[in-house]
Amino acid sequence: MFFSFNVYVGKFGVHYSVFNVANPQTMEFLENVLEEVIDLFSTSDVIHIGGDEVQYDQWKSSTEITTFINEHNLQSPADLQIWFTNKISNFINGKHRRMMGWNEIIGGSKLHHYTTESDILTKEKLAQNTVVHFWKGSLDLLNKTISQGYDVVNSNNKYTYLDYNYNRISLEKAYNFDPIPENLLEEYHSKILGLGCQMWGEWIPTVDKMNQQIFPRVAAYAEVGWT
């Protein structure tokens, strides 16, 4: 939900464009989008807002954003992302829904090569009722996330990404995935709500290829998740 593009997306992957969160019209626009999403998924109690792989270059080069960060006594671009994400959470909560997002929205962790140490300094705290969709990071980071009180859906990309080929994630590896990691502190087990398996389609040219990637691994994930 943080990405914004001038005309259209001509390529896939991580993008540099981000919303100008200093402009009040940005929040107005997103509220309109979320209203429509909530209407489309009217039976869902949870709304996923994304929030992963946000590159901060545009924010750091913007005098408007720099001024905004200083005026709001924020420490870093990651702090700004958390601050803005909490505004989204407040809106979603007001619609009697719960926000979910990828684990970058917590802030404070250097998960990507393009992230600097100064980018991740944070004092803001993500809204407590957020469901954290954990896709990247160590067991220590997962423990830290749960110890802060967050519920988690475990979608570790090394085990659950259906666009990965069978050499990387075999059917056996998928079936043996446990959303509750072996060394996760027992007191945190109940905070793992389940697992997710993702089928990203950028490199999938046909429906037949998509089906080959999904089946039979999705059946293994279903059994693991339900049992």
Q: What is the pLDDT, as a whole number, of residue 3?
A: 47
Q: What is the pLDDT, as a whole number, of residue 10?
A: 60
Q: Is 94 exposed, middle or buried (0-12, 13-18, 19+ CB in 10 A)?
A: exposed
Q: Is the pLDDT of residue 9 over 80?
A: no
Q: Rounded to the nearest 10 degrees, what angle do helices 24-40 and 77-94 cross at?
A: 50
Cα–Cα–Cα angle for 156, 198, 96, nearest 5°? 90
CA distance 220 to 38: 30
Q: What is the pLDDT, as a whole number, of residue 121?
A: 86
Q: Which of 118, 121, 120, 145 is nearest to 132 (CA)?
A: 145
Other beta carbons within 10 Å of 112: 14
Contact 27, 87 (CB under 8 A): yes
Among 10-24, 107-121, 126-140, which is the least confidently predicted range? 10-24
Average the pLDDT over 51-66 and give the result: 95
Which tokens belong to 144? 């830290």
CA distance 130 to 150: 7
Q: What is the pLDDT, as a whole number, of residue 5?
A: 47
Q: Is the pLDDT of residue 68 over 90?
A: yes
Q: What is the pLDDT, as a whole number, of residue 177?
A: 97
pTM of the model: 0.92
CA distance 217 to 13: 24
pLDDT tens-place string over residues 134-191: 999 999 999 999 999 999 999 999 999 999 999 999 999 999 999 999 889 999 999 9
pLDDT tens-place string over residues 185-224: 999 999 999 999 999 998 899 999 999 999 999 999 999 9
Q: Which of 48, 65, 54 is nearest to 3 (CA)?
A: 54
Spans of all domains in the chain: 1-98, 135-227
Sequential DSSP letters for 12-47: -S----B--TTSHHHHHHHHHHHHHHHHHTTT-SEE
Q: What is the pLDDT, as a whole number, of residue 15?
A: 72
CA distance 174 to 89: 32
User: Token match 């398996």: residue?
Assistant: 197
Q: What is the pLDDT, as a whole number, of residue 4?
A: 47
Q: What is the pLDDT, as a whole number, of residue 7?
A: 52
pLDDT tens-place string over residues 126-146: 999 999 999 999 999 999 999
Q: Secondary structure of 155-219 in the HEC alphabet?
A: CCHHHHECCCCCCCCCHHHHHCCCCCCCCCCHHHHHHEEEECCECCCCCCCCHHHHHHHHCCHHH
Contact 74, 80 (CB under 8 A): yes
Q: Is the pLDDT of residue 83 over 60?
A: yes
Tell me the CA end-to-end span of the chain in Å, nearest whole number: 32
